[in-house]
Amino acid sequence: MELLGRPATFSDPPALKDPQGFTTLGAITAVEHDKATVTLHCGEARLRLLLLTDDVVRLRVAPPGASFGRDFSYALDPGTTWHGPSALTVEENDAIVRIQTGALTIQTEKTTCRLQILDATGRILFADEAGPAWENAGSNGTDTVSHVALSARLRPGERLFGLGDKTVTLDRRGHRFALWNTDAFEYQRGTDPLYKSIPFLLSLHDGAACGLFVDTTQRMTVDLGAEANDRLRVEAPGSALDYYVLAGATPLAVLQQFARLTGRTPMLPKWALGYHQCRYSYRNEGEIREVARELRARRIPCDALYFDIHYMDGFRVFTWDRDAFPDPAGLIADLKQDGFQSIVIIDPGVKADDPAYGIARAGHAHDAYIKQPDGSPYTGKVWPGACHFPDFTNPAVRDWWGPLHAELLKQGVAGVWNDMNEPAVFIEDLEEATAITMPEDLRHDYDGHPTDHAEVHNAYGMQMLRATYEGLLRLAPERRPFTITRAAYAGTQRYGTTWTGDNTSSWDHLKLAVEQCLSLSVSGTPFVGADVGGFVGTPDGELLARWTQLGALMPLFRNHTTLGTPPQEPWVFGEEVERICREAIELRYRLLPYFYTLLWEAATDGLPMLRPLALPHPADETIRREAPLGFYLGSSLLAYPVLDAGQIQMNAYLPPVPGGWYDVHTGRHHPGDGGTVVPVETPLDRLPLFVKAGSIVPFQPVLQHVEENPVEELTLHVYPTPGAFTARLYDDAGVGWAFKNGD
């Protein structure tokens, strides 16, 4: 059976409901407040503002007769404590209620309850248009609320970044999106929705930055000026609205607040930053040993090899196909000996129709499966055939699932890859199998507050990853787990890494890889990558070379391709491409001390590793106008990946920074305090890379894998600027948790 799948089909963007059918808050009738909370009563409706700190506001809306809803969210980091604002004053006059914190002013119009949020210099960060609103299910307006909405003003020149892996330009303005996790095989530019739903936006306007996070896992429609250029509108099923406005002195500070809110990446094993080689699938022990042998023989550094679905016995999770892989422990030990970590895929579907399959039976014994409304387990088709699906929103089910990895760990597996967790389910009453998902009325535990699949859907993959991450941690507490997920909701970064799914071997996808990974980085998800070379289809040598150069600068650096394509490893395109790929991979290994420091900054300070140019330069007109697809790695390196076929020259825009820039390859200095465009030669073996004056970039010797030899020598490249400067370098054992004690 060839398991290729078929391009998912996508409908037009979801229609927005008629705003006329929605009710807004209306006149403020009473105001209550304490040290951190202000409640505005508008007749029977309420708007509550919770000041988490001086510059982060949580807003909750309760329509008439409805409560604020359950105070529960998978997005929020349970490890963060908010201490409230340093000060809070509430004043009223005839026209407005004015709330002031140490950093913000929130003004609410008394007749409408529409609000404006201003920073300390009086700049408007956020302004309601109609503001929060709700729609009643029945036509007489008295039935329970069915939908909630929020509309805010967009100003000329305002840019909107974030929203996860959406397939349009970095600035999402002018588009409408659906947030509904979808197995988007062979997605293309414009395809929507994809695998992840991260309802976070970063607005940049007039040099000021502001974040908006709408915390609902329901299928949401987000219109960013598509319907009306000057209006943002989000709409979702539900009866209460829960959202956050995050301010900060800089765009990066806003992202750090969002990281405080939804969590940071855990520290990963250092080898996670190495080069990874994958394909769907290395089919047997011989094939994977062969790849390992080639990589070492050709001196192409590599740290991880992947076992895609064919390692399993009939795609039964937590089993091995013993004909193809007779001795997993022996194989994995040999690979480890050569410096390769083994990562296995685990899907959510548990084969249902085999009475001899112990995992499936145990699932029944634990009452672990998602249920139909009548209480019986739901059955849907995926690779193994008929499957049941664990309800990862049930803590008892997560506790059951996690330890199922014990045997794999004993066999030496070092990482787990969660796929198909949108969740994807096939329907076969169509002409060909197509990927869809399960019925929306299925029942979930939702951590003790039973609800339907519609509400859980976008968080399902995240809760699967959580079960995996927590399980690995429980089984081997001394180790840093390594996990990857395809589906995600806000906060997923607390449980591991992610990639952008089934992309295509094309130049446009190379560009998309930049856009998607930068956008995920803006959306709280720092450890990201796109399949190098493209998953669907076959790259030519030039595309693979350019993609490997780009991948060498992405946190997750994995070459992967689909079933039935020719080999895509770096050596199959001839000697020149092999050399270029090797050099790119070697550059990555030489820069590991720099990357590892970025990982640590992401894990501790919530700073993204990859940064669109607009983040450090929110007021730069050239960046706003031309939106060049260069990006920062941390705060020192600036990359301009080559994204077009045949391109041997580019004009790179170097933003204004004191002291200018240096070309990493030539050492040439480009003064340009005021921002300059420099011509750069880009022969196939050259990836344009610049470093900001006033930086120190640490290089280590090339290793074939991160644990090959202890690094005894670092070379610090110092890029001077007039005056003193500092740089930060972080290192630790690369594994384990001793660093938490300062080791």
Catalytically active residues are: 419, 422, 502
Beta carbon nearer to ligand MIG, 133 or 420 = 420
Nearest-approach distance from CB 314 to ligand MIG, in angstroms: 14
The label of the residue with tokens 């078929």 reads: 6
Nearest to 244 by CA among 407, 58, 392: 58
Kindly state whether residue 5 participates in binding ligand MIG, applying the rule CB under 6 A.
yes
Q: Which residues pair with 415 in a beta bridge?
A: 343
Q: What CA–CA distance (Å, rounded) separates 716 from 728?
A: 11
Please tell me the distance from the alpha carbon of residue 446 to that of residue 395, in angstroms, as a whole number: 9
CB of 324 to ligand MIG, least distance (A): 15
- CA angle, 325 then 327 then 330, to 5°: 125
Q: What are phi and psi of 157, to 5 degrees?
A: 85, -5
Q: Which CB atom, from 130 or from 184, has the smaller least distance to ligand MIG?
A: 184
Cβ closer to ligand MIG: 418 or 523?
Answer: 418
The residue nearest ligand MIG at its CB is: 280
The residue among 158 and 313 lying less far from ligand MIG, judged by its C-beta, is 313
Task: Kindly tell me which of 128 and 502 has the beta carbon lying closer to ligand MIG.
Answer: 502
To ligand MIG, the closest distance from the beta carbon of 551 in angstroms equals 15
Sign of CA dihedral 233, 235, 241, 242: negative
In whole angstroms, give the CA distance from residue 17 to residue 227. Answer: 11
| DSSP result, 16-31 | PPPGGGEEE--S--EE
Taking residue 286's Cβ as centre, other Cβ atoms within 10 Å add up to 11
Minimal distance in Å, beta carbon 257 to ligand MIG? 32
CA neighbor of 199 nearest in space, from 327, 312, 334, 74: 74
Q: From the CB of 415, what's the least distance to ligand MIG, in Å? A: 14
Q: How far apart are CA 271 and CA 703, in angstroms?
A: 11
How crowded is the C-beta side of 550, counted as CA atoms within 13 Å?
Answer: 33
Of 55, 223, 235, 308, the one binding ligand MIG (CB under 6 A) is 308
Residue closer to ligand MIG (CB basis): 126 or 185: 185
Nearer to ligand MIG, 310 or 444 (CB): 310
d(CA 98, CA 89): 8
Element (H, E) at 715: strand 715-719
Q: Cβ of residue 345: shortest distance to ligand MIG, in angstroms? A: 5
Interface map 653-692 toward ligand MIG (x if CB under 6 A): ----------------------------------------
Contact 502, 186 (CB under 8 A): yes
Strand, coil or helix: what is 78?
A: coil
From the number of C-beta atoms within 10 Å of its C-beta (0-12, 13-18, 19+), residue 374 rates as exposed
Q: CA angle, corner 725, sides to 724 and 728, nearest 5?
A: 150
Minimum CB separation from ligand MIG for residue 690, in Å? 33
Binder to ligand MIG among 22, 126, 185, 739 (CB under 6 A)?
A: 185
**Residue 483 token pair:** 């996990």
Site string for ligand MIG, 320-359 (x = CB under 6 A): -------------------------x--------------
Q: Which helix (H) or strand (E) holds 541?
A: helix 541-551
> Phi, psi (5° rounding) for residue 382?
-135, -160
* 525-544 residues near ligand MIG, rule: CB under 6 A: 535
189: which 2 tokens? 């530019």
How far does the chain reach from its first CA to its final CA, in angstroms? 51
The encoded tokens of residue 104 equal 């913000």
List the one residue out of 80, 82, 81, 100 whose CA is nearest residue 90: 100
Print burial letters for 423-447: b (CB count within 10 Å at least 16), e (below 16): bbbbeeeeeebbbbbbeeebbbbbb
- Each residue 258-287 as x (binds ligand MIG by CB under 6 A) or -, in order, gives ----------------------x-------
CA dist list (Å): 403 to 350, 472, 482: 15, 7, 15
CA distance 73 to 84: 19
Q: Cβ 500 to ligand MIG, closest distance in Å?
A: 9
What part of residues 465-524 is at the interface with ligand MIG (CB under 6 A)?
486, 501-502
Q: From the CB of residue 516, how many other CB atoms can be counted at a distance below 10 Å?
A: 26
| Least distance from ligand MIG to the Cβ atom of residue 548, Å | 18
Q: How far is the CB of 534 from ligand MIG (least distance, A)?
A: 11
Residues 396-425 that bind ligand MIG (CB under 6 A): 419-420
Binding mask 549-568 for ligand MIG (x = CB under 6 A): -----------x--------
* Closest approach of ligand MIG to the CB of residue 559, in Å: 12
Q: Which residue's CB is nearer to ligand MIG, number 50 or number 386?
A: 386
Closer residue to ligand MIG in complex, CB, 389/535: 535
392 Cβ contact partners less than 8 Å away, ≥ 6 residues apart: 348, 398, 401, 460, 463, 464, 466, 467
Task: Give the number of residues written for the chain.
Answer: 743
Number of residues that bind ligand MIG (CB under 6 A): 13
Number of Cβ within a 10 Å radius of residue 311: 24
CA 672 – CA 201 distance, rounded (Å): 32
Residue 630 neighbours by CB distance under 10 Å:
20
Question: CB 544 → ligand MIG: shortest distance, Å?
Answer: 17
Give the count of alpha carbons within 13 A of 158, CB side only.
24
SS3 469: helix
Cβ proximity to ligand MIG: between 349 and 630 the closer is: 349
User: From the CB of 315, what's the least distance to ligand MIG, in Å?
Assistant: 9
**Residues in CB range of 288: below 8 A, 6 or more apart:** 282, 305, 307, 331, 335
**Listed residue (425, 531, 527) closest to 483, CA to CA:** 527
Cα separation of 332 and 312, whole Å? 15
Binding site for ligand MIG (CB under 6 A): 5, 185, 280, 308-309, 345, 419-420, 486, 501-502, 535, 560
